[in-house]
Amino acid sequence: MKQAQAPDVSPRPSACPGLWRIVNARDGGICRVKLPGGLLLADQADAVAEAAERFAGGVIEATNRANLQVRGIGSDHNGLVARLLAAGLGPRDAAGDDVRNLMLSPLAGHDPAMLLDARPLAGQILAMLESTPRFHQLSAKFAVQLDAGEGLAMLEHPHDLWLSALHLEQRTWLAFGLAGCPADGQVLGAVPLEQGLALVRAVLARFLDLASADQSRMRQLLEGCSAAFFVEGLGLDIRRDAAVLQWRRARNHPVWLGVLPQNHGLALGVAPPQGRLTPEMLRGAAHIARHLGDGSLRLSPWQSLVLTNLDLAHIEQAQAQLSALGLLCHRHEPLARITACTGSSGCAKAHGETKADAVALAALLGPGVPGSVHLSGCPRSCAVAHVAPATLLARSPGRYDLYVRDARLPGFGALRAIDLTLNEAGAMLDLPTEHLDD
């Protein structure tokens, strides 16, 4: 069968990688594969693994927006794109791919705590984004979250628009907010579930009506436009009584590694160390999903994978095989609590080799270290969408400043120590969280 060819397109300018937009980095090109609600079929996983070997350096990354990246891409960009398109990993319109930024729970449709199955509405939103030329004017970073009340849900990543399900008066509603996240509690109103698509359409259209050329994100628009004024112009019957405006999304403490409950059967969460998958890891996970699960993988905003619809009898077998591939299967493993950006081997802006340092740091930490730690090579902190409980910011190779998250302070939080070696940082991070706050 003749392989599909990449269409001849000129993606709009952006510093953000996409399917067609291969962005250069120190270690080669980067291609981002945006997955619909984080869903990756087993056959598609095999295609990504093959493409990473054939057209790149074999490095695949799970991102904090539940997507995949292929790094170290060589000169044959069209060959890579054509292989991914042939696997159904993107629409044939580059602009339609750019705006497919919709986050769901990795257990959408399966989570026992969910108030509704988010997948039908998510499919409608994605189809609208892909097929509406006007919405292709949105930034490649403009993002929407649909939270259906799942227990396994990322509530801290900021989005330009977020929607969260709630039950009021024996009816399902979608509360929403702008330039924030469900965890911040800033509810602007609610609409009935059946008007969810209309709400998203109205918000996107109003943003484009009001935003200037240099306002690509909702937070930039709201610096000069009140949220109340924005909502008043949506042209929808928005419910804004006390029951809605005072509603708050229940806080969760999501566990994304190990055996996870679902409505029928069980799910299994695993993570590639530092978010990096080898082709062998991805193929192996796809094989297990195909033979022991439902043939799919779900990417998560914790840079992990979730395999759904496994039988209890197969859990130990699946965990053993996934662990043998090098994937983390248990949350008590120190490396499971550490994230890191690409580091100086792949990024010219990084001041340290964060990936290697993260592995070294994990060896210094005891099991069950509280919270999580992020190693960032520079102040941009590209690899994490929200502030981690503890951040190590590189200042030079092998030396870091330690910050502890503080909701009262901007950026990484409170500066606790400067110019630490990894041994010194490990000694501080091995303390209970309350000691870091002294």
- Fold designation for 23-92: Alpha-Beta Plaits (3.30.70)
**Count of CB atoms within 10 A of residue 142's CB?**
22
Q: Where do you find CATH 3.90.480.10 in the chain?
A: 258-327
Q: Is a pLDDT exceeding 60 seen at residue 390?
A: yes
Question: Do 40 and 299 touch, CB atoms closer than 8 A?
Answer: yes
> In terms of CATH, what superfamily is 115-148+156-245?
Sulfite Reductase Hemoprotein, domain 1 (3.30.413.10)
CB < 8 Å & 24+ apart, contacts of 343-350: 343/375, 343/377, 344/26, 344/377, 344/397, 345/26, 345/27, 346/25, 346/26, 346/27, 346/71, 347/25, 347/26, 347/377, 347/378, 348/25, 348/26, 349/377, 349/378, 349/380, 350/377, 350/378, 350/394
pTM for this predicted structure: 0.88
pLDDT bracket for residue 337 (50, 70, 90): confident
Phi and psi at residue 327, to the nearest 5°:
-85, 145
Per-residue pLDDT tens over the stretch 361-380: 988 887 655 468 889 999 88
Per-residue pLDDT tens over the stretch 153-169: 999 999 999 999 999 99
Q: Where do you find CATH 3.30.413.10 in the chain?
A: 115-148+156-245, 335-436
Average pLDDT over residues 182-204: 95
Question: Do 47 and 82 touch, CB atoms closer than 8 A?
Answer: no
Can you say how many angstroms the Cα of residue 301 is from the centroid of all Cα atoms in its chain?
3
- Indicate the SS3 state at residue 316: helix
Q: Is a pLDDT exceeding 50 seen at residue 4?
A: no
Q: Residue 89 and residue 36: Cα distance in Å, rounded?
A: 9
State residue 11's pLDDT score: 58
**Torsion sign (Cα): 50, 65, 37, 307:** positive
Least confident of 59-63, 146-150, 217-221, 389-393: 389-393
Q: Residue 195 and residue 174: Cα distance in Å, rounded?
A: 9
Q: Residue 185 and residue 163: Cα distance in Å, rounded?
A: 12
* Range 258-327: architecture per CATH: Alpha-Beta Complex (3.90)
Pick the CATH number of 335-436 from 3.10.450.750, 3.40.1360.10, 3.30.413.10, 3.40.47.10: 3.30.413.10
Q: Is a pLDDT exceeding 60 seen at residue 2?
A: no
